Structure 1
Amino acid sequence: MSQIPETMQAVVCHGPGDYRLETRPVPRPGPGEVLVQVIAAGICAGDVKCFQGTPMFWGDVNRKAYAETDVIPGHEFVGRVVALGEGAGDLHGLAVGDVAVSEQIVPCGECRFCREGNYWMCQPHDLYGFHRVTQGSWAEYMVYPAKSRNYRLPEGMDPRHGVFVEPLGCSIHAVNRGNIGFNDVVVISGCGALGLGMVAAARMKNPAKLIALDLNPHRLELARRCGADIVMNPAETDVVQAIRDLTGGYGCDVYIEATGAGKSVEQGLLAIRKLGTFVEFSVFKDPVTVDWTIIGDSKELNIHGAHLSPNTYPHAIRMIAEGRLPMEDILTHSLPLSRFHEGIDIAADGRSSLKVILEPGGVA
């Protein structure tokens, strides 16, 4: 511990719209804990919406607050192990110097969901970057707790690319929830960073047709590079009719929603065939209203949610290491920690960015 500084720079959440760069003590790892020096930390749509005060995180008359104050944000990250608490090396299979990632949720291991093996739905639901007990990655150093689920990156993999393991893991889980078959026509709506990960993961399922939708032509081109057979821009094409035309009038078998826009939900319900599967992953800024008659009486749809990235990190690491995604085109912006406000603005705007990352070690 002698070479590790006493203090560090960290972004601290004091409430919606009130995030500040502060000097904080470098945490020291306790038994079973891992201290890492953060290499890169992502800014995702959820981080932006938390910063903006979205009710999902801060509550309203219908729901309790989820996010807490006095918390370092950041749940997408990769770090280099610099110290291990007692027993942590054996517990996590890590050594000082390893580059490692940690699943977004730190499960309690004791609630009903954890006991039944559904750890990603853990009732306390401590996620990095939202709760005080699981401080996040927008800092120079962070701790992986004793109950965290950690993975070492393979030699030869670009350490910065590890920042994309968490979002790609979420993408893989969403694709798995679609139960894609070989004869299926699959639609991925939204080709942001998560949507591109879904395209790449769905391609590995080898469906009959893989269709990607987005309003941004550059993102559609990246979707082709990730494995989409057909790309469509809803601003230029009646995608519901086009999907029906491609499927003999029936509609797609699987529709995965990854835009966070209510219009995409309605579009999917119209584009999907009877007895089809609709997967919802996005975090929405506002409530979305749809005609539930379509879901029930009209089409008898299978509606699946997708949350976090259970049991997908090894697959995500392999996909990145094998070069199945154009990572340098996905990691569009790299900023030092001091420019986190700028990073939030770029991610919120979305027109020029896919994945915005902070590099606490400093970038130009």
Structure 2
Amino acid sequence: MAVDPGTAVPATMQAVVNHGPEDYRLEQVPVPTRGPGEVLVKVEAVGICASDLKCYHGAAKFWGDENRPAWAETEVIPGHEFTGRVIELDDEAAAHWDIAVGDRVVAEQIVPDWTCRYCLDGAYHMCARHDMYGFKRATPGAMATYMVFTTDSLVHKVSGDIPPAHAAFAEPLSCALHGVERARLTFDDVVVVAGCGPIGLGMIAGSKAKSPRLVIALDLDDTKLALAARTGADITINIAREDPVARVKELTDGWGADVYIESTGHPSAVGQGLNLLRKLGRYVEYSVFGSDVSVDWSIISDDKELDVLGAHLGPHCWPAAIRLIESGALPMDDICSHQLPLTDFQRGLDLVASGKESIKVTLIP
């Protein structure tokens, strides 16, 4: 067993605990105990995203539907976008992940069982019987001083030379890159990304890295659009001032875009995308919506014969996301706009809910 000699692990720690919808509390709880083959990690940063808001507000308020299942179990420590330093591990864990005490690490939020049909086919992100950091009692999340990586986790090393908030951005960036991978971009494609939040900005960067003909960003916020341009967008369109369908058709000699990647979660963005795509175009949906979406499905079939693709999590994209962050190519200081102490977790949730003052909010335990 290897232990960081410079770190005395206390018996208790601060943690945010989910006691139900809109009832998150900062508490003193026992430090988790590492089992055989597991890793004890001291958390350096944990991001807050829209999924955390869904858990916080609960199904009834977020969906307006009492029958929808809860997003997270109660009595769970939330937080699924995280990074930290290895404090303690045994030889089995060190060999399994090629890590050592002191390494900065991240873990994918899903913990697959590695035995279901999806895992056996390589689609571990769709595991039928998975755990999930910050959502399940078996895998407490990172809004705490310490956490444990279980034996079935997917663990990656990250440079210790970058700020912790940047390292924690590996999770949303990997999700964004998976959305781009689903789009199957070609060099001649005109790509439209709807929404310039953290996921959308990652999709813009990932799309640009594929060298398509044009990357177009859509949003209502000029500040976010300016950041989108720095992240790789060739053209930005403020949809409050311009008709995006007309503008995209103007840019494509009337044909429409080849690819539309939706990351806003707003119902109006669906019809917008279907209408600005050309025939035989590709629509990628990453968002989770707070209400049902109605569209004219004949656009998908009879009118245009579109490919409509979903995207979930960031399978097989974490190494690329980490390399992109470490490269310094992204304006990470501006993307990671707010870092708050764990004690300010409620302000962090409120900032994300507002969506007007921040891009990525990160808690620093």
Query: After TM superposition, is the score higher than 0.5?
Result: yes
> Which amino acid in 2 is paired with 1:39?
E
| Cα-to-partner distance string for 1:135-189 (whole Å, 9 max, x where unaligned) | 1010000011100000111353333311100000000000010011100000000
Rounded Cα–Cα distance in structure 2 between residues aligned with 1:79 and 1:100:
6
Alignment of 1:50-61 (within 5 A): 50-54=55-59, 60=65
- Conserved in 2, the CA contact under 8 Å of 1:101 and 1:153? yes
Identity %: 54
Rounded Cα–Cα distance in structure 1 between residues aligned with 2:351 and 2:164:
23
> Which amino acid in 1 is paired with 2:346?
H
- Conserved in 2, the CA contact under 8 Å of 1:8 and 1:139? yes
Pick aligned residue for 1:302 from 289, 303, 307: 307
Partner of 1:129: 134
State whether structure 2 residue 148 is matched by structure 1 residue 143.
yes
State whether structure 2 residue 85 is matched by structure 1 residue 80.
yes
| Cα-to-partner distance string for 1:233-259 (whole Å, 9 max, x where unaligned) | 000001101111111111100000011
Using the TM superposition, give the Cα deviation of residue 63 of structure 1 relative to its aligned residue in structure 2, in angstroms. Answer: 4.2
Partner of 1:34: 39
Alignment of 1:91-170 (within 5 A): 91-170=96-175
- Conserved in 2, the CA contact under 8 Å of 1:56 and 1:66? no
- Conserved in 2, the CA contact under 8 Å of 1:54 and 1:285? no
Please, what TM-score do these two structures have when normalized by structure 1? 0.96
| Cα-to-partner distance string for 1:179-215 (whole Å, 9 max, x where unaligned) | 1110000000000011111111100001101100011
> Which amino acid in 1 is paired with 2:131?
D
Please, what TM-score do these two structures have when normalized by structure 2? 0.95
Pick aligned residue for 2:14 from 4, 9, 16: 9
| Cα-to-partner distance string for 1:14-48 (whole Å, 9 max, x where unaligned) | 11111111111101211111111100000001111
Partner of 2:285: 280
Partner of 1:24: 29
Rounded Cα–Cα distance in structure 1 between residues aligned with 2:223 and 2:256:
26
Partner of 2:272: 267
Gaps of 5+ in 2: none
> Which amino acid in 2 is paired with 1:251?
G
Partner of 1:241: 246
Partner of 1:326: 331
Give the secondary structure class of the aligned counterpart of 1:307: coil
Pick aligned residue for 1:257 from 256, 262, 265: 262
Partner of 1:173: 178
- Conserved in 2, the CA contact under 8 Å of 1:130 and 1:136? yes
- Conserved in 1, the CA contact under 8 Å of 2:63 and 2:290? no
Gaps of 5+ in 1: none
Rounded Cα–Cα distance in structure 1 between residues aligned with 2:229 and 2:347:
30
Partner of 2:54: 49
| Cα-to-partner distance string for 1:249-291 (whole Å, 9 max, x where unaligned) | 1110000001110111110011011110000001211121111
Partner of 2:348: 343
Rounded Cα–Cα distance in structure 2 between residues aligned with 1:213 and 1:290:
20
Rounded Cα–Cα distance in structure 1 between residues aligned with 2:147 and 2:62:
22
> Which amino acid in 1 is paired with 2:331?
P
Rounded Cα–Cα distance in structure 2 between residues aligned with 1:157 and 1:17:
33
State whether structure 2 residue 221 is matched by structure 1 residue 216.
yes
Rounded Cα–Cα distance in structure 1 between residues aligned with 2:16 and 2:90:
24
- Conserved in 1, the CA contact under 8 Å of 2:165 and 2:336? no
> Which amino acid in 1 is paired with 2:334?
D
The 1:207–1:351 alpha-carbon spacing in structure 2 relative to 1, beyond 3 Å, is: same
Give the secondary structure class of the aligned counterpart of 2:111: coil
Rounded Cα–Cα distance in structure 1 between residues aligned with 2:279 and 2:198:
29
Using the TM superposition, give the Cα deviation of residue 88 of structure 1 relative to its aligned residue in structure 2, in angstroms. Answer: 0.9
Rounded Cα–Cα distance in structure 2 between residues aligned with 1:59 and 1:114:
33
- Conserved in 2, the CA contact under 8 Å of 1:80 and 1:99? yes
Q: How many residues align?
A: 360
Partner of 1:290: 295
Rounded Cα–Cα distance in structure 2 between residues aligned with 1:147 and 1:168:
22
- Conserved in 1, the CA contact under 8 Å of 2:13 and 2:31? yes
Using the TM superposition, give the Cα deviation of residue 61 of structure 1 relative to its aligned residue in structure 2, in angstroms. Answer: 6.0
Partner of 2:74: 69
